[in-house]
Amino acid sequence: MTSAASFFQGYLSSFEDALRPTDAAGPIDSTSCGALAYSAGLRPILDRYAAAHDYQDVRATASQWSKYFFSRLGVATLVTQLATDRALDLCLARMRWVSHDDGRPDFFILGDPRPAAPIDPGSDFSSLIDDAFTPVVAALSRYCRLSARVFWSNAGVYFAWALGELESQQRVPTDRLRAVRALMSVPTRPDGGFNPFHRIYKDCAPGTLDGNHEPADHCRRLCCMRDLDPQWGLCANCPRAMHGPTPSRAAI
């Protein structure tokens, strides 16, 4: 997305090429995103991902893979929409995607938008939520029998992180940033639709340490359940990893 390129700075720079228009994709081997909305379409992708990394638990595999999907598509969409102040049409049936050898999403190719589609503001993420994330969350949940809330939490964490980066970089007009921050503070979207980005984090008590033994004032509200696979431990910001300071010997 050329017009948004200058907004992918700092930690966001690795997402600059995660979303591409059709005319910029070139002659590459891509796959329809429509298959991601079905468990049968996800199965070979998740099997490939698990085999490449020797993952054993299907629930942990699905959760870990989902983080790449939600981050690559969600972060790129957030930055692009706020940079251009135009909502994107993210209907999976009109999009294609390219994966790494292990099945992780590399980038997504936008399809032609709906004919005579209205121009919605960049702070409107209805298409990202309803047309892209919702069917994939449902398919993942059916495939591995893990709660949809876990996948929505994964999606929301990356969305919230990217918004924080944009706020700290101060390149996007403040009114656009303010509109998205306001969206994350209410349980429903302006159109009355489900808002999965509400209450992604919860506050921690003073003195709380995270999984890296660093001070933490907030953490994820839900665990991603990746530790169901023996290869993985808890994420540093997992609610189950939060703990109090270790007492000194003098206090024991």
The pLDDT, as a whole number, for residue 3 is 73
pLDDT above 70 (res 22)? yes
Q: In the chain, where are the structural domains located?
A: 12-198, 200-252
Class of domain 12-198: mainly alpha
List, for residues 173-182, the tens digit of each pLDDT value: 999 999 999 9
What φ, ψ does residue 31 adopt, rounded to 5°?
A: -125, 145
Is the separation of the CB atoms in 183 and 202 below 8 Å?
no
pLDDT at 2 over 70: no
pLDDT of residue 23: 66
Residue 62, class by beta-carbon neighbours within 10 Å (0-12 exposed, 13-18 middle, 19+ buried)? buried
Do the beta carbons of residue 79 and residue 128 sit within 8 Å? Answer: no
pTM to 2 decimals?
0.92
pLDDT of the residue at 191: 86
HSE of 231 in the Cβ direction (CA atoms, 13 Å)? 11
The pLDDT value given to residue 245: 76
Amino acid letter, residue 105? P
Residue-wise pLDDT for 80-123, tens only, equals 999 999 999 999 999 999 999 999 999 999 987 655 456 789 99
Radius of gyration of the chain (CA): 19
164 alpha-carbon distance from chain centroid: 14
For residues 66-91, average pLDDT: 96
Higher pLDDT, 5 or 247: 5
**pLDDT digit string (tens) for 30-54?**
999 999 999 999 999 999 999 999 9
| Three-class DSSP labels, the chain | CHHHHHHCCHHHHHHCCCEECHHHHCCCCCEEHHHHHCHHHHHHHHHHHHHHHCCCCHHHHHHHHHHHHHHHHHHHHHHHHHHHCCCCCCCHHHCEEEECCCCCEEEEECCCCCCCCCCCCCCCCHHHHHHHHHHHHHHHHHHHCCCHHHHHHHHHHHHHHHHHHHHHHCCCCHHHHHHHHHHCCCCECCCCCECCCCCCEEECCCCCECCCCCECCEEECCCCCHHHCCCCCCCCCCHHHCECCCCCHHHC
Report the percentage of the chain scoring pLDDT > 70. Answer: 92
Average pLDDT rounded to a whole number, residues 239-243: 95
SS3 assignment for 46-104: HHHHHHHHCCCCHHHHHHHHHHHHHHHHHHHHHHHHHHHCCCCCCCHHHCEEEECCCCC
For residue range 131-146, what is the model confidence (pLDDT) as tens digits? 999 999 999 999 999 9
Q: Which has more pLDDT, 25 or 37?
A: 37
How far is residue 216's CA from residue 204's CA, in Å, rounded to a whole number? 7
